[in-house]
Amino acid sequence: MARNIKEYDIDRRQFLAMSGVLTGTALAGCAGESGTGGEDNSESTGGDGGGGSSDETVRLNVAIASEPWNFDPALWADTGSSAVGSMIYDEVIELSPESELQPGLVEEVPKPTNDGMAFDYTLREGLQFHNGDDVTVEDFKYSLDWILNPDNNSPVRRRIPNVDGTEIVGDRTLRVNLTTEFSTLNWWLTRGLEGIVPKGSRGEAQEKEGPTGISTKLTTDPSGAGTGPFKFVEWNSNQNVLLEKNENYWKDGLPKVDELNFQIIPEDSTRLANLRSGQTDLTTSIPDKDFDSLKSSSDIKTGSVPGNTTEVLYLNLMEAEGNPMSNVNNRRAVQWGIDAEEILDEIFYGRGVAQAGLWYPDSEWTSPKLRDMEMYDQEKAKRELEKAGNPDGFEFEMLVTKGSHLKDQAVVIQNQLSKIGIDVEITTLEKSALFDTVYDTTDWHAALENWTNAVPAVTYWLSTGFVPNARNHNNWHHQTDDLPDRYAPSGPPAPEDADGDYSNGHEWYVDTLQKAQSTADEEEQKQIIYRLEEYLVENAIQIDICYSSKIAAWQDSVSGYEMGSFASELRTTTKDE
């Protein structure tokens, strides 16, 4: 089958002008964006991205692929900002490389109180900001309240749901009150509150170019505001971010190096050349095709762990003229017609795992029914085409981000589906134009993208993208004035055995997920989650393809770097001179 790909070399503004789409949705959470940041500094001590250190100063050079946009932890919505910012700030509840919860700035990971309607968080004693001021419970309250305030449009607000305000109940204790029982709040908080900042330090929120569209006083200069292992020194846009050791860090013996220099290197070839030459000490931004050659290098160490980046084909479920994906049988045919193992081999060089629905196939939180199900089944796909009244197949358009591995992945899917008569037209767009189409219009069929989730709780994944106030990747619910009511039954109905009077499946899904989030009984929670996972697959709400592995490479002189699927530990990393 000939490749059918349309390339559109247009930016977001041009696309909107052509389509006449009125947009109102920010691109918060779209990882991998690059852009411009702080003021250039001709007197930079680290602007060249090289060593530049004296014999007495140990500098660790870490290469990242994308420019940071924002150093305010309440406004992180891109990989560059969170990679650098996580060294400047500390989480309240930490996530270990083993995906276990552990206390960060608080003394312990709390359990629910007030009959499950609140959590009490007590700060450690003796905590200080980088400017030397003590960290107080008032700072704690300010940091959380600012995120929860809808007027500030924090992109991480959706990671702290079901909260009904905060109150100070002790010298160092903040109570977080809930609107409903929410047993997994601590997991969500690991990425919902990634830093406490001094009270009033943000000032007034302002408009700013970038993924969040918002800035505060901390956006370009977080000097003195953090509690983390490293202090901010300077940010040279498109070059580097230099941090220095926090000598008064609350964790004994950390950090292990004097300076941490983040080299901003978008080009894969340059990043790898710098690693091989020793100008870069460590990087996680490695193309899959180059990983094996790095593994064979005698002076470079490599690591690979199951990742938390998922490849997803989003489907438009809405009844719209000419939209074949509004037919559940067509969606199922596409779902059973995609071979994830071939995609892993062809695109990710065998590193990753095919999904069994939304979650990891070997997890106890994945439905046993899905774990045992063969997700690639051409005969089943053909039977669905018969049921849809399309025995010879049908046509649909797949949107793909321009200039990424996703286009190659789309070609593999195109060829796979052609074997059962489904003709796929691939259209490439700039990322912003793609998401503007998916978020704000009904005039699309399918969109191939990926996203990286930082919270290893299946309830978080079942929420993101499927409930209001989150991403609207499948038009199952609606969020703008240009679209119908967000609860319009544009998708499948509620299950026949649903306990309750539901006008549509989305309404049932949201209510059922809330029950799963509120129960503290693990076995009961699993049974509810299994049903939700099965419902998503039964109705092909979206097609979850595979998780690609996290990979990293570092100089032989580097040690102590710990890799995890959801969190890696750079604080413990050291370097021999």
Q: Report the C-alpha gap between 183 and 187 in whole angstroms.
A: 9
CB 445 within 8 A of CB 316: yes
Q: What is the DSSP string of 516-552?
A: HHH---HHHHHHHHHHHHHHHHHTTSEEEEEEEEEEE
Instruction: Look at residue 392 and give its three-state secondary structure.
Output: coil
Helices (runs of H) and strands (runs of E) counted in the chain: 15, 22
| pLDDT value of residue 471 | 53
CA–CA gap between residue 467 and residue 515 (Å, rounded): 14
Check if the beta carbon of residue 320 is closer than 8 Å to that of residue 442.
yes
Burial label for 20, CB within 10 Å (0-12, 13-18, 19+), is exposed
C-beta separation of 431 from 26 below 8 A: no
pLDDT for 214 equals 87
Fold of 307-549: Dipeptide-binding Protein; domain 3 (3.10.105)
Q: Which ranges of 59-153 does DSSP label H, i.e. alpha helix?
A: 79-88, 137-148
CA distance 329 to 443: 20
Domain boundaries, the chain: 62-266, 307-549
Closest CA to 351 of 440, 273, 266, 288: 288
d(CA 454, CA 452): 7
Beta carbons within 10 angstroms of residue 569's beta carbon: 15
pLDDT tens for each residue of the chain, 577 residues long: 334 554 444 343 333 333 333 333 332 333 333 333 333 333 333 444 444 444 689 999 999 999 999 999 999 988 899 999 999 999 999 999 999 999 999 999 999 999 999 999 999 999 999 999 999 999 999 999 999 999 999 989 988 999 999 999 999 999 999 999 999 999 999 999 999 999 999 998 888 766 667 899 999 999 999 999 999 999 999 999 999 999 999 999 999 999 999 999 999 999 999 999 999 999 999 999 999 999 999 999 999 998 999 999 999 998 878 999 999 999 999 999 999 999 999 999 999 999 999 999 999 999 999 999 999 999 999 999 999 999 999 999 999 998 778 999 999 999 999 999 999 999 999 988 998 888 878 889 999 999 888 899 999 999 887 886 555 667 776 655 556 565 455 678 899 999 888 888 888 999 999 999 988 899 999 999 999 999 999 999 999 999 999 999 999 999 999 999 999 999 999 999 7
Fold that domain 62-266 belongs to in CATH: D-Maltodextrin-Binding Protein; domain 2 (3.40.190)
Answer for the pair 477, 468: CB distance below 8 angstroms, yes or no: yes
* Torsion angle defined by CA atoms of residues 250, 252, 257 and 259, in that order, rounded to the nearest 10 degrees: 10
- Give 261's contacts (C-beta < 8 A, 6+ positions apart): 46, 49, 59, 60, 61, 62, 240, 241, 242, 243
Half-sphere exposure of 377 (CA within 13 A, CB side): 10
